[in-house]
Structure 1
Amino acid sequence: MEERVHLGHIEERVNRPGLPQPGEPEQEREPDDREQGRVEPGPHGPGRRSTLPPSRHPVSIAGCRGDASRLLLRRRSFLYWGVTIAERVRAVEAEVEAACARAGRKRPAVTLVAVSKTRTADEVAAAARAGINDFGENRVQEAAAKIPQMREFLPRLRWHLVGHLQTNKVRPALELFDIIHSVDSPRLARELQARAEAADRRLEVLVEVNTSGEESKFGVEPGLVPALVDEVTACDRLDLNGLMTIGPGWAVTDPEASRPCFRLLRELRDDARARTGLPLPHLSMGMSSDFIIGIEEGATIIRVGTALFGPRP
């Protein structure tokens, strides 16, 4: 059966084979190579109160450690998440809620950001109709062609820059995004400050930390976090609300590998909070392959792309 959904001039057409709905018991079978997609690697990728819900309590992960990897690896088949975007959103939401319950957290403590890089306006609209309010983009140039179009029809959406930001792209980034996750140098912080002051606006930011030690990853080294936090907090147009990181590349097949990275980020945030007295409510960590681990380790923002939108064409 073909389903058509309209939003202004945006139309989604989806073919619905007779597959089990998310939440039904899955069949015990090995997914074939076509169904086994490779989950995308991560993006590279005191001020006003954040508009995202913070997590204010320590996280209990007793009994969670084995479950997270088992669940994520068992669900590597994209058909598990559903056929349509709406089905995938429901399935991912169910996993987020279950992970929060296992960790002794409430569901509103975690914001689900749908990473929509390379996705069309139709796909973004479908995810928004399914209840997603926060979307993430990796590249300023791609976002410039997408976000204004979406704001015309869906002004309620909140846009996150989750990829690396070059200093020469700061000006358009300020015009497009509500929050930038990837402040990774004093130079970038100063440029954001200057542009925000010129535009007479405030900007919510997170400091990106390279917790895996991989040379291919962006982010400040853990030992340099205090200095960068001080640099950002000295910028009166920037509202520093926490830290962001990406798990190691091999977490795609071993989600548990992200746990030490996420735990380190939480410890760095806690240290910065104690040292500065700032609330720093947010930890942005966890993607399609490891968001359950992220939730167990205290993530308040998870960045999920492939599990929501399916593999890229």
Structure 2
Amino acid sequence: MQTTLDRLAEVRARIARTARDAGRRPEEIALVCVSKTYGAKDIEPVIEAGERIFGENRVQEAMEKWPPLRQRHQDLELHLIGPLQSNKAHEAVSFFDVIETVDREKIAKALAEEIRKTGRHPRLYVQVNTGAEPQKAGVLPDEADAFIETCRKTHGLEISGLMCIPPVNDQASPHFALLSQIAKRNGIATLSMGMSADFELAIQLGATHIRVGSAIFGPR
């Protein structure tokens, strides 16, 4: 039976192989270990194995779970990868190193206010709803350029990345290619795309960050 460390080693090997096949260096791709719903006992071995970047969906869950781990490992980087409500902007800015789900002006305004108040500057990614799915968070692709400009010029936010989650039943490649195109024309270098089922495709299409949970930690 595979352990978490076995699965992690397999994911690392797949990243390295895919990167080399795509003419990239494996170290160009950051692995965000998606630790939502997993407890400290599941996460600790992955930290001990050398991983330092973790993704959480919920602000409250992360704030309850991570402080003891951060005390023991002070070089960890936490990403918020789930939807952010404006009333949680203060906690998100104070707690996370990266917020990947900036997706509407209300959130942009709330984040700008909290950044000014706290002096803390988490890196910000705009989430793009590449499949225009009504139930999914994210700015629509044809509104992404204007939204990025609003974040930058109106709210003074530095947008350093884009993130997407392709529709479950779609071929992922066109969605990754679309995100890459939006990033290129907006001068954005960081692309958070690809999860357990499709991260190799994402690497081939320029992902700088991949978000992998179940392929490391096992089924939820």
Q: TM-score range by the shorter chain?
A: over 0.9
Q: Are the aligned partners of 1:184 and 1:208 in contact in 2 as well (CA < 8 Å)?
A: yes
3-state DSSP of counterpart to 1:249: coil
The one-character-per-residue Cα deviations of 1:12-45 (angstroms, maximum 9, x if unpaired) are xxxxx5xxxxxxxxxxxxxxxxxxxxxxxxxxxx
1:100 shift after superposition: 0.4
Q: Which has the larger radius of gyration?
A: 1
3-state DSSP of counterpart to 1:205: strand
TM-score by length of 1: 0.68
1:120 shift after superposition: 0.5
Question: Aligned partners of 1:117, 1:202: CA distance in 2, in Å?
Answer: 23
Aligned partner of 1:282 in structure 2 is: 190
The one-character-per-residue Cα deviations of 1:176-196 (angstroms, maximum 9, x if unpaired) are 100000000111111001011
Q: Is 1:93–2:12 an aligned residue pair?
A: yes
Opposite residue 180 of structure 2, the aligned amino acid is R
Alignment partner of 2:177 out of 263, 270, 278: 263
Q: Is 1:180–2:88 an aligned residue pair?
A: no
Q: Is 1:204–2:112 an aligned residue pair?
A: no
- The count of residues paired between Structure 1 and Structure 2 equals 219
The one-character-per-residue Cα deviations of 1:251-294 (angstroms, maximum 9, x if unpaired) are 5xxxxx00000000001111112xxxxxx210000000110111
1:137 shift after superposition: 0.1
Q: Are the aligned partners of 1:203 and 1:239 in contact in 2 as well (CA < 8 Å)?
A: no
Aligned partner of 1:296 in structure 2 is: 204
Identity of aligned residues (%): 39
Aligned ranges for residues 46-195 of structure 1 at < 5 Å?
A: 83-195=2-114
Show structure 1 runs of 4+ deviating over 3 A.
Answer: none
Root mean square deviation of aligned Cα: 1.1
3-state DSSP of counterpart to 1:250: coil
TM-score by length of 2: 0.96
The one-character-per-residue Cα deviations of 1:63-93 (angstroms, maximum 9, x if unpaired) are xxxxxxxxxxxxxxxxxxxx11111111000
1:242 shift after superposition: 1.7
1:140 shift after superposition: 0.6
Q: Are the aligned partners of 1:151 and 1:157 in contact in 2 as well (CA < 8 Å)?
A: yes
Q: Is 1:232–2:151 an aligned residue pair?
A: yes
Question: Aligned partners of 2:132, 2:121: CA distance in 1, in Å?
Answer: 31
3-state DSSP of counterpart to 1:113: strand
1:239 shift after superposition: 2.6
Aligned partner of 1:247 in structure 2 is: 166
Opposite residue 271 of structure 1, the aligned amino acid is R
Opposite residue 94 of structure 2, the aligned amino acid is E
Higher share of residues assigned helix? 2
Segments of structure 2 that go 5 or more residues without pairing to the other structure are: none
Question: Aligned partners of 1:232, 1:141: CA distance in 2, in Å?
Answer: 25
Q: Are the aligned partners of 2:132 and 2:141 in contact in 1 as well (CA < 8 Å)?
A: no
Opposite residue 166 of structure 1, the aligned amino acid is Q
